[in-house]
Amino acid sequence: MARRPVIIDTDCGIDDAQAIMMALAAPDIRVLGVTCVFGNTSVENVCQNVLRVLDVCERQEIPVFRGSGGPLVGARVATTDHFGTDGLGDVFKDRDPLWEQKVQKEHAVSALIRLATENQQQVSLVALGPLTNLALAVRLDPGFPQKLKDLFIMGGNMEGKGNVTLCAEFNFVMDAESAYVVLEDFLCRTYLATWEFACRNALTWDFFNELVSQNAPAAVFMRTVTSRCRAYSQEASRSQRDVHFGPGFVSYDAYAMAACIDGGVVTGSIECPVRVELQGAMTRGMVALDRSGELKKSHSVVVLTGCDAEKLRRLLVDAVRQPRR
């Protein structure tokens, strides 16, 4: 059976790295390319992080494309340094002086359009960061979404609970206009793995510690990049009790990637029109779910609600048993 072509659009931080590794380990997935966008760190750091992940997994043949360095409109929003200033925990002192030569000359947005055009209605696009590259792609080629098989997004929310503002999630806050454009103009089948969805389906820290205690290169890499933020993450997860999520290990981007790799990971969903709020002082970037038809939209989005934890764990375990081709 032919492997399914996938493009990954990422702002490669630690959880993005885990998601990318999952895709590389999946036997029926063929990663056509990785497009980079600002978010967890600068787009230059993102490119270097992706190249580092591909090196660890011995998959240097996969092309990496540099994309948007800031949002569609306005100045870039200041970010926290939860994943370090470089997105991977600031644990690596060595930098590849030749990294720019390893990144493709073609811009990420052009690559998205080209790869979708060359593989009409076959490509699954997995978006793990701010949606700027995707918004620019549909503005350059309005037919771009129809060329995709489907779209999986990690971002947004479904209950108005935020992780960087009162009501909105990081990826959508970083470029709310692009999130709005994508969820309005992408008419392909679209799946949304929200922040609350990930939090409500957290895994245990015992599982995570066992996951990164292995000696395979990918496991050692994950153990290294999480070495400085692990204690903070565990404490932060415990504090989530006050918003009814409960403590646990949450690799946010892995949920969207898992849904792409194995549809059986998804055990529940809500299908309805959605809209991203742009105007509210406290709600900018929030996703509104329209369950009553008020928006009069013909296009619905699949908002994920339930997750098969065992299948997710299995994909994460497979991801650190690199290399695999």
pLDDT score for 323? 54
Q: Is the pLDDT of residue 263 over 90?
A: yes
Residue 175's DSSP bridge partners are none
pLDDT score for 325? 54
Mean pLDDT of 171-185: 97
Listed in sequence order, the residues at least 6 apart from 131 whose beta carbon sits closer than 8 Å to its beta carbon are: 9, 153, 155, 171, 172, 175, 178, 179, 181, 182
Higher pLDDT pick, 245 / 255: 255
Contact (Cβ atoms closer than 8 angstroms) between residue 284 and residue 176: yes
In order of their start, the domains of the chain are: 4-71+78-319 (3.90.245.10)
117 three-state secondary structure = helix
pTM of the complete model: 0.94
Query: Out of 11, 15, 150, 253, which one is annotated catalytic?
Result: 11
Contact (Cβ atoms closer than 8 angstroms) between residue 234 and residue 206: no
pLDDT score for 173? 96
Confidence of residue 241 (pLDDT cuts 50, 70, 90): very low
Higher pLDDT pick, 225 / 233: 225
| Residue pLDDT, tens place only, 39-81 | 999 999 999 999 999 999 999 999 999 999 999 998 777 666 6
Q: Nearest-5° angle of CA 19, CA 24, CA 28?
A: 110
Higher pLDDT pick, 275 / 78: 275
The reply to whether 11 belongs to the active site is yes
pLDDT score for 174? 96
The number of beta carbons lying within 10 Å of the beta carbon of residue 184 is 17
pLDDT score for 94? 85
pLDDT score for 228? 74
Mean pLDDT of the chain: 92
3-state helix, strand, coil in the chain (%, to 5): 40, 15, 45
